[in-house]
Structure 1
């Protein structure tokens, strides 16, 4: 968790130094998702899109984060969150629900 705090501090400095770049906003979104703060992550991901990030890249980042979440309960929680948000756009998240349901 301390690495996430350090990463967040770096991302905030990057936003300060390069406010027009989408990369620090994307990083803040990823950090928020890693902290299971999905709504805050969505805010930062939306900021990244407004600063030039591609929607497909942001969705790929969400997918990567959820796939790499080691805590099965949290992975399931994140998948449910995204499916409630947009079941078509995040249809891939259903795979993470099946894994828990099959056990």
Structure 2
């Protein structure tokens, strides 16, 4: 499994606008091969920003990389540059190969 995360430093006072953009957009992820799950996370508040992260799980790094080259990716990110005043800097990408996963008993 592969986990892809983007960290966003959202300017204080812009949190509601940032959340509205993300929560109202079409992700185009549901039918992408290898896609497993997506979460939008709100983190700690700092003096000048609030930390957010997008967290997606993929069957493999190859599945994630194929998505980044797909039409679904282009559609999901269409108009993303229009929201730059919400951020302190560029989003920071972090990718992780999953070495161990422990799940609750079902």
Fold shared per TM-score above 0.5: no
Instruction: Say which structure is richer in strand.
Output: 2
TM-score of the two chains, using structure 2 as the length reference: 0.28
- The structure whose RCO (Cα within 8 Å, separation 6+) is larger is 2
Instruction: Say which structure is richer in helix.
Output: 1
TM-score of the two chains, using structure 1 as the length reference: 0.28
Which of structures 1 and 2 has the bigger CA Rg?
A: 2
